A and B are shown apart, each in its own frame.
Chain A
Amino acid sequence: MRVERLREEFDVEFDAWAFDLRPGLPPEGLPRDEVYREGLYPPGYVDRLREMARESGIQMIAPPVVANTQKAHQATEFAKEGGRLPQFHRAVFAAYWEKGENIGDEDVLCRLAGECGLDPDGLRAALAGGRYAQRVREQMAWARDAGLGGVPTFVFSSGDGRTFALVGAQDYEVFADIARRIQRGELKAT
Chain B
Amino acid sequence: MESWVVGFDGDTDVERHAGIETGSAAPPPIRLRFVSDYI
Contacts and interface: CB of A to CB of B under 8 A. Distances in A.
- B and A form one assembly: yes
Contacts, number: 92
Contacts of B30: 10-13, 156-158, 179, 182-183
A113 to B, nearest CB: 14
Interface stretch (B2-10, B14-22, B31-39): B31-39
A13 B37 contact: no
Interface string A146-190: 001001111111110000000000000000000100110000000
Contact of B32 (A72, A92, A156): A156
Interface residues of B, number: 14
A155 B37 contact: no
Contact of B37 (A21, A156, A159): A21
Chain A interface, >50% SS class: mixed
Contact of B38 (A69, A139, A159): A69
A18 B27 contact: no
Interface in A48-104: 63, 66-67, 69, 72-73, 89, 92-93, 96, 103
Interface in A131-146: 139, 143
A121 interface: no
A11 B34 contact: no
A10 B39 CA distance: 27
B1 interface: no
Interface of B: 26-39
